[in-house]
Amino acid sequence: MTSMILKLIHPFRFLRSGLFTSISLWSYKRTKFIFRNYWSLIFEEIPVFSFNVVKRSNQKPFSSFRIALLGFELVVLFYKK
């Protein structure tokens, strides 16, 4: 799927770099926002679209909401009180 997108949309090729980027954008009280860029050479496939919601459990002290679109992902973590 990724190779098809790269062939159809040529400008996306310049995004393909050797670095995987994960940036913590902002934290407010018990919420944290993280941005990730999957346009790295270490990934064979780049997520075109992905959506995920995970509730808290004993193993994870937070709930998370993730959405990925065209290789970019936004993660929102909601820590418990």
Domain map of the chain by residue range? 2-79
Say if residues 47 and 37 touch (Cβ distance below 8 Å): no
Q: What is the pLDDT of residue 19?
A: 58
The residues, any chain, with a CB within 8 Å of residue 42's CB and separated by 6 or more, are: 18, 20
Give the pLDDT score at 69.
85
What type of residue is 43?
A: F
- Distance between CA atoms of 76 and 25, rounded to whole angstroms? 10
- Report the predicted TM-score, pTM, of the whole model to 2 decimal places: 0.62
pLDDT at 58: 76
Average pLDDT along the chain, 81 residues, taken 10 residues at a time: 55 55 73 80 73 81 85 84 67
Q: What are residue 23's DSSP bridge partners? A: 35
